[in-house]
Structures are given as C-alpha cells and as structure tokens.
C-alpha cells in the first residue's frame, strides 16, 4: 500500500459502519458476508475490525472476545474443514494446554473434558468432530463474541462428494450454538454458494464493498478526492498529472482502489529501474493492464455485482446435435426415408 495507514475512502467508511452495527446490534448466531471485487478493501476491513471491535474488553488469559483466521486450501488444493478448526483453536491460545484449578471461568465438567489425554497434542488421528467440540468448549470458556474469516471463497473448493454450501451451513450452526457473530470476507464467488442455499439466507447479512462507478457523480467525486491523496503521498513528476488523467485512471481500474494502488506501485518500480525518483505519465501508461486483462477485470466485476443483486444466470442452451442417432426412436427423416409413390 503506497498510502500509509488505512485508506479511509467513502465506501470503506460505509462498510465499517455496517460491520460495527452488525457486531453490536445483530442477533447472536448471525453470519455476515463481506464481499466485493478483488482490491476493494475486504482484508483491510477485516484488519480494521480486528483492532477496533471490543476495544473496551481487554483480551487476557481469561477472555478472548474476537479471533481472526484464514480459510486456506491446505489439502491438495481443496478446503479442509479439519485444518480450519485447528487454526481457530490455535487462535484461542494454546488450546491443548493442561487446565488445572486456576482455569478461567469453566465448570468442572469442561475442565475434566479438556484434561483428557487425547487433548495433549494435535494428532492426525483426531477426528474433526473432536476438534470442533474442543473449540466450542474453549470458545464458551473464553467468552468469544466474534469470528472473522478471510478468503472465504476458498470454502468453495471442496473434494468430490461434498457440497460447498456444507461448510457455510456448519458455520451458521456454530454461530447459533455459541451465540457469536461470524464475519466471512470473500470475493464474489462466495455469493454463489450463499444464493444457492435458502437456509443461509434467513440469518445472514451482506456488506458489499462497492467500487466507484464512472456514471455516478458522487462516486466520481469520491474517487477523485482519493487520487488527490495519492498526489500528496507519492512522487509524481507533475503535480497536476493525476487530475489531468483522472478519467483514464478511473476507466483503467474500474473504480477499485486496490487496482489504483497496484497501478501506481508498478509505475513506481518502472521509474526506479530507470534511475528516477518521480513517476512520469508514461510509467503509468506502461503499467496499466492489457486490453485482455482489463476485459477480464470488467467481466468479473459485472458478473459479481449481478450475484449481489441476486440475478439468476441462465445456463447456455445445448447445441443441437447433427448425429443421426440423436433423433427420437420412431421418427422419420424424409430425405432418406421417403413415403408414398414416386411420380
């Protein structure tokens, strides 16, 4: 990130307000989806919430109000829910420690459960069910309030025979059992599963980190104001370069500030390789995406925004077959099977 600190642009502020409202006002057991195009600020929002939520509650050995994990593909490129629960346990501290009489506010039954020999270490032989039970007990003992999950679209990559929506259904049940709020941050691919499951729709909210649209005046003004922040923070050869070419930058990046930052970062590297400290406009032009890359970016954004609106994509109609055996049994083909007398 070329700009120091968190980039507080208008759409990001709206997302922060919505997330804080969900964390404080939504019913326990709610799942919140945070989605948007790549580079819109989802990971930045997760980091911001991790630092700002429940600041009044001091995280200590006896209380962990919030944890943040990443949904990684750790099993042959597929999402592993077992590894995922292990990661969440690690975020709670040392989940397999021997807990004695000085344990936090837990009942004797929970302490006895956690002191069983099979919790002394993480073993391959341990089942996912046992790991999940340990997490549930520890989450209650440490008064967990919220769980932040980044790269949530990774849960879409599952082994054959398992529906991707199973993982989200399982998380919804976990939120209800523990009475916590779960935030899942992911690209638009995550919404494909959400829209596919009616059960998830009932207790979920969506926070959409939108891009800045060229056809909306308010968005254009907000986008150009952030460009002025880049002008003051990054060394450009001409102080008026960004204002002069703002329309082109908006078009090339589709109004996504992650793409703006990438564009200027590439231009800065090109300038340094040429022995210059200031970025010239030619550096920015050479750093922009190719026509094919820009078309791909446009397609992914427009398709994702359609998912946010709940649009149903129609499957393409199958091409008609020209094979002779594709006809229904009993049908006739006049050109090869004439009827009647010849004249």
Same domain assignment for residues 299 and 263: yes
The answer to whether the beta carbons of residues 167 and 89 sit under 8 Å apart is no
Same domain assignment for residues 224 and 202: no
Kindly report, residue by residue over 130-177, the tens digit of the pLDDT. Answer: 888 888 988 998 889 999 999 888 887 776 566 767 788 888 889 999
Give how many domains the chain has, as a whole number.
2
Same domain assignment for residues 105 and 168: yes
For residue 56, pLDDT beyond 70: no
The torsion of the CA quartet 69, 75, 79, 81, rounded to 10 degrees, works out to -70
- Among 14-28, 45-59, 141-155, 268-282, top mean pLDDT goes to 268-282
Task: Give the residue numbers spanning the domain of 68.
Answer: 10-208
Kindly report, residue by residue over 297-307, the tens digit of the pLDDT. Answer: 999 999 998 88
The answer to whether the beta carbons of residues 64 and 93 sit under 8 Å apart is yes
Same domain assignment for residues 155 and 225: no
Q: pLDDT tier at 100 (50, 70, 90 boundaries)?
A: very low
**Of 183, 208, 233, which residue sits at a domain end?**
208
CATH number of the domain residue 225 falls in: 1.10.8
Distance of CA 237 to the CA centre of its chain: 36
For residue 19, pLDDT beyond 80: yes
Q: Which residue has the tokens 């939108």?
A: 210
Q: What is the DSSP letter of 314?
A: P
* Residue 337 located in a structural domain: no
* Residue 203 located in a structural domain: yes
What pLDDT, on the 0 to 100 scale, is given for residue 27?
87
**Of 208, 241, 258, which residue sits at a domain end?**
208
What pLDDT, on the 0 to 100 scale, is given for residue 264?
93
CATH number of the domain residue 28 falls in: 3.40.50.300
**Of 164, 191, 208, which residue sits at a domain end?**
208
* Residue 55 located in a structural domain: yes
What pLDDT, on the 0 to 100 scale, is given for residue 6?
57
* Residue 302 located in a structural domain: yes
Same domain assignment for residues 88 and 171: yes
Mean pLDDT for all residues in the chain:
79
Give backbone dihedrals phi and psi of 255, rounded to 5 degrees, phi first. Answer: 75, 20
Kindly report, residue by residue over 191-246, the tens digit of the pLDDT. Answer: 877 665 566 666 788 999 999 999 999 999 999 988 888 888 889 998 899 999 99
* Residue 175 located in a structural domain: yes
* Residue 138 located in a structural domain: yes
Same domain assignment for residues 69 and 201: yes
Same domain assignment for residues 160 and 193: yes
* Residue 100 located in a structural domain: yes
* Residue 278 located in a structural domain: yes
Kindly report, residue by residue over 306-317, the tens digit of the pLDDT. Answer: 888 877 665 455
Please compute the mean of the pLDDT values over residues 247-252 and round it to a whole number: 94
Same domain assignment for residues 150 and 181: yes
Same domain assignment for residues 60 and 196: yes
Same domain assignment for residues 182 and 47: yes
Q: Decide which of 10 and 221 is more confident.
A: 221
For residue 99, pLDDT beyond 60: no
Query: From CA 298, how far away is CA 90, in angstroms rounded?
Result: 39
Residue-wise DSSP of 154-198:
GGG---TTS-THHHHHHHHHHHHHHT-EEEEEE-THHHHHHTT-H
Same domain assignment for residues 143 and 238: no
The answer to whether the beta carbons of residues 35 and 308 sit under 8 Å apart is yes
Same domain assignment for residues 93 and 41: yes
For residue 247, pLDDT beyond 90: yes
């Amino acid at each position: 990130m070329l700009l120091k600190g968190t980039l507080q642009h208008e759409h990001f502020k709206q997302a922060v307000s919505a997330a804080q409202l969900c964390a404080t006002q939504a019913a326990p057991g709610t799942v919140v989806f945070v989605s948007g195009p790549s580079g819109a600020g989802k990971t930045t929002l997760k980091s911001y919430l991790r630092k700002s939520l429940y600041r009044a509650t001091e995280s200590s050995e006896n209380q962990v109000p919030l944890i943040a994990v990443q949904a990684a593909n750790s099993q042959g490129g597929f999402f592993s829910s077992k590894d995922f629960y292990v990661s969440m346990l690690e975020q709670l501290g040392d989940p397999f420690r021997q807990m004695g009489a000085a344990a936090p506010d837990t009942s004797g039954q929970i302490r006895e459960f956690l002191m069983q020999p099979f919790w002394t270490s993480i073993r391959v032989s341990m089942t996912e069910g046992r790991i999940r039970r340990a997490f549930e007990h520890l989450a209650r003992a440490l008064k967990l309030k919220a769980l932040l999950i980044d790269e949530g679209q990774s849960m879409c990559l599952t082994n054959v025979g398992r529906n991707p929506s199973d993982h989200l259904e399982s998380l919804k049940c976990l939120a209800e059992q523990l009475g916590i709020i779960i935030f899942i941050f992911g690209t638009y691919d995550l919404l494909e599963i959400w829209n596919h499951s009616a059960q998830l729709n009932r207790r979920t909210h969506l926070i959409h980190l939108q891009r800045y649209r060229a056809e909306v005046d308010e968005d254009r003004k907000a986008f150009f104001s952030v460009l002025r922040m880049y002008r003051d923070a990054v060394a450009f050869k001409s102080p008026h370069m960004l204002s002069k070419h703002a329309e082109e930058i908006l078009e090339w990046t589709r109004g996504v500030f992650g793409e703006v930052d990438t564009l200027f970062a590439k231009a800065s590297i090109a300038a340094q390789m040429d022995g210059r400290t200031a970025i010239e406009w030619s550096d920015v032009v050479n750093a922009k995406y190719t026509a094919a890359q820009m078309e791909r970016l446009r397609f992914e954004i427009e398709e994702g925004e359609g998912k946010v609106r709940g649009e149903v994509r129609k499957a393409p109609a199958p091409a008609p077959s020209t094979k002779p055996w594709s006809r229904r049994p009993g049908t006739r083909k006049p050109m090869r099977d004439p009827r009647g007398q010849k004249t």
